[in-house]
Amino acid sequence: MNPFDYIRPASVAEAVAAAAEPGAAYLAAGTNLLDLMKVGAMRPGRLVDVRHLPGLDRIETLSDGSFRIGSMVRNADLARDAGFAAAFPAVAEALLSGASAQLRNVATVGGNVMQRTRCAYFQDPASACNKRNPGSGCDALEGENRTHAVLGWSGSCIATHPSDFCVSLVAFDAVVEIVGPAGTREVPLEEFHLLPGTTPERECVLEAGELIVALRLPSDAGRFAANQRYLKLRERTSFAFALVSATAALDIEDGTIRSARLALGGVAAKPWRAHAAEAQLQGAAPGVEAFEQAARAALADAMPSGANAFKIELARRVVNRALLLAAAGTPERMPAMPASAFSSVPGVLSHV
Amino acid sequence: MTLSVTLSVNGVRRDVTLEDPRVTLLDLLRERLDLVGTKKGCDRGQCGACTVLVDGRRINSCLALAASYDGADIVTIEGLAKGDLLDPVQAAFIAHDGFQCGFCTPGQIMSAVGLINEGEAGDDPDRVREGMSGNLCRCGAHAGIVEAVLDAQKQLQQRRVA
C-alpha cells in the first residue's frame, strides 16, 4: 500500500474541502478501496474518512412517500429495514445477493455506487489498462474476457460495473444527491455512471471533491412492490459477482402490464436500464411470449467484446426468467438464497 | 503521520499509537496486541479468516483501516470463552467436527456468532449456508460447520427460554 495521509473531518463541508486536493480519495468502509490499494491499483495520497460524518447514516421516508437513504447507511442495514424492504423488495434482494454478510455489515450504499470494476487487468498494475493508466491500452481485449461487457463497451475498455444494488436502483429511477465545492446537485443514477468511450478513466460524473450524501427512491415505484425480483447468475451460488443479473418489476392490472421496469447488471460499465424492452411490455399480457420479446429487445444492441458471446443469450434468458419470477409475485419472505436461480424456499417459484 | 487509536478489545481498553495510518484492524490485533487467534488468510476480504465482531457485528478485519475504528468495541476469538468455559458456538464446533486443520476456525466461529446475533437464519440449513458463505474452509468441513451453527443456535435459544 502506498503511503497516505489520513484525515477524519467533522462535517461534510470539511470533508469536501479536504478531498478537493489532487490525489485525495474518500474512504467509507474501505472494503473495495483498501483492497485496491493493497494490490497497487489505486494509490491515493490522502484518505478522507467520511464513515463517521454526522447525518449520513439515516433511512428516511419523506412526506411524498419517497425514501432518502444516507450514503453511509450500511448495505445490511438497508436490506434489513422492514419498511424499505417492503417498498423495494428487489432492491433488498439485490443487496442481499451481493458480497458476504461480513462485507454487507460495513460496506455503505454510497461506496456501493462508487465501487470499481472487478476486471482482473484493472486490478493488476502490471497489465495495460486505460481505466487505471489512460493511454496504456487494454489487456482485456485480447485476454481473459469471458465475463466482460456486451453492451456499451468501446475499444478502450470492456470492463463491467460490478454492483447488484445499482441494477435495482436504476430500475426504480434512483437519484444521487451530491455535495461538492460548488454546492449541491442531484443526478439521476442512470446518468451517474459513464460508458467508457475514449475516456474509461472517467467512470462517473463526480468532480474533484464531490461527495455522495444520499440516494433517493421515488414513491411512484410503490406500484411495483407486489411483482418485482432481482435474479443473479453467478459462477457459484453465493459470494460471487454477477455474470449477468436483472431486476424486473411489473405493475399488473386485470391481466395487463400497465408499466414495467427492467435493468441488467454484469453486461456494461454501468447498470443498464432497458427502456425499449419496458416500452414493449407496456400493455402486453404477462407471459412467456411478451417476456421473450422483451428479452430480445433488451439485448438488441449487444455485441461480444471477446470470448463472451454466450453472455448475450444468457442475458436474454435471465431477463425472461426475472420477468417470469416478477409476474409470479414478490415472495412473502426473502428467499434463503437471495436472487438465486436455485431457491429452495417452498412456494417460491424456482424454475420457470 | 502519527495517530492514536483507543479500542475496547474483549472488554479491555487498549491504547495504540500508530506511526503510519497503513495499518488494518487485523494487523493491529495480531502485530500490536498479540491477539493472533484472528487469522490472515487472503487479506482481501474473500476468505473470512479475519472475521471479528465490531460493535456486535461481524466484519472482515483485513479490510478495516484501524485508524477509522477509534472508539470501537472489538470482540475476537480470544474473547469468547469465559476462562475454561467455552462459548456454546466453540463447543458446538468441537461436537460436530466443524474443522480439520483449524486455520479458518476462529473466523468461522466469529462469523457464526455474528450470524446468530443477526437472528435471520433460524433452523434453516440453507440460510445458515448462505449466511456463512463469507467464510471459506479449504479442508471442506462445511457440513460439520453448518451442523455446529444450527446446534449452537438451538442451545442458545433454549437457554434464553429457560
Euclidean distance between CA atoms B137 and A80, whole angstroms: 27
Alpha carbon of B85: minimum distance to chain A alpha carbons (Å):
27
Using an 8 Å CB-CB cutoff, list chain B residues near A338.
130
Residue A344 has pLDDT above 90, yes or no: no
- Give the best residue of B40, B63, B111, B116 to mutate against chain A (max A CB count within 10 A): B63
Same domain? For B30 and B73 the reply is yes
Among B43, B129, B134, beta carbon nearest to A103 = B134
Percentage with pLDDT > 90 across chain A: 95
pLDDT of B65-85, one tens digit each?
A: 999 999 999 999 999 999 999
CA dihedral B122, B128, B131, B133 (to 10 degrees): 180
pLDDT mean over A56-83: 97
Euclidean distance between CA atoms A217 and A15, whole angstroms: 25
Same domain? For B8 and B56 the reply is yes
Q: At which residue does the C-alpha cell 418489476 appear?
A: A249
CB spacing of B68 vs A103 below 8 angstroms: no
- Give the best residue of B133, B137, B142, B150 to mutate against chain A (max A CB count within 10 A): B133
The interface predicted TM-score of the complex, written ipTM, equals 0.98
Residue A346 has pLDDT above 90, yes or no: no
pLDDT mean over B83-91: 97
- Give the best residue of B20, B43, B52, B60 to mutate against chain A (max A CB count within 10 A): B60
CATH 1.20.120.530 corresponds to the domain A224-328:
no
pLDDT at A348: 52
CB spacing of B44 vs A27 below 8 angstroms: no
Same domain? For B132 and B105 the reply is yes
Of B79, B98, B126, which one is at a domain's C-terminal end? B79
Same domain? For B67 and B114 the reply is no
Grid cell at residue A267: 453486461
Same domain? For B74 and B110 the reply is no
pLDDT at A41: 98
Q: Taking the domains of chain A in order of start, what are their residue ranges?
A: 5-52, 224-328
CATH of the domain at B18: 3.10.20.30
Same domain? For B69 and B94 the reply is no
pLDDT at A352: 46
pLDDT at A98: 98
Euclidean distance between CA atoms B105 and B28, whole angstroms: 20
Euclidean distance between CA atoms B98 and B105, whole angstroms: 8
pLDDT at B160: 82
Among A29, A80, A100, beta carbon nearest to B133 = A100
Helix, coil or strand: residue A239? coil
pLDDT at A10: 97
Same domain? For B70 and B109 the reply is no
Grid cell at residue B160: 434464553
Same domain? For B150 and B126 the reply is yes
CB spacing of A30 vs B129 below 8 angstroms: no
Of B55, B79, B103, which one is at a domain's C-terminal end? B79
Measured CA angle at A317 (ends A313, A319), to 5 deg? 115
* Chain A interface includes B144 (CB < 8 A): no
- Among chain B residues, the shortest Cα distance to A105 is held by B59
Count of domains forming chain B:
2
Grid cell at residue A320: 425472461
Q: What is the mean pLDDT of chain A?
A: 96
Using an 8 Å CB-CB cutoff, list chain B residues near A51.
68
Q: What is the topology classification, in CATH, of domain A5-52?
A: 3.30.43
Integer CA distances (angstroms), A70 to A75, A212, A216, A273, in order: 11, 9, 9, 23
**If pLDDT is split at 50, 70 and 90, which confidence band does A345 have?**
low
- Among chain A residues, the shortest Cα distance to B107 is held by A102
- Would you put residue B12 in left (φ > 0), alpha (ψ -120 to 50) or beta? beta
Residue A93 has pLDDT above 90, yes or no: yes
pLDDT mean over A332-341: 92
pLDDT mean over A235-241: 94
Same domain? For B95 and B38 the reply is no
- Give the best residue of A8, A33, A38, A100 to mutate against chain B (max B CB count within 10 A): A100
Euclidean distance between CA atoms B45 and A103, whole angstroms: 8
pLDDT mean over A336-341: 92
Residue A105 has pLDDT above 90, yes or no: yes
pLDDT at A342: 81
- Among chain A residues, the shortest Cα distance to B111 is held by A102
Alpha carbon of A106: minimum distance to chain B alpha carbons (Å):
7
pLDDT at B121: 85
Using an 8 Å CB-CB cutoff, list chain B residues near A79.
none
Range of the domain at B153: 88-161
Residue A351 has pLDDT above 60, yes or no: no
pLDDT at B159: 87
- Among chain B residues, the shortest Cα distance to A52 is held by B68
Same domain? For B30 and B55 the reply is yes
pLDDT at A221: 82
**If pLDDT is split at 50, 70 and 90, which confidence band does A313 have?**
very high
B 51-110: CB under 8 A from A: 51, 54, 57-60, 63-65, 67-68
CATH of the domain at B128: 1.10.150.120
Same domain? For B62 and B108 the reply is no
Using an 8 Å CB-CB cutoff, list chain A residues near B68.
8, 27, 30, 49, 51-52
Of B14, B44, B79, which one is at a domain's C-terminal end? B79
Among B3, B20, B134, beta carbon nearest to A100 = B134
pLDDT mean over A12-23: 97
pLDDT of A189-206, one tens digit each?
A: 999 999 999 999 999 999
Q: What is the mean pLDDT of chain B?
A: 96
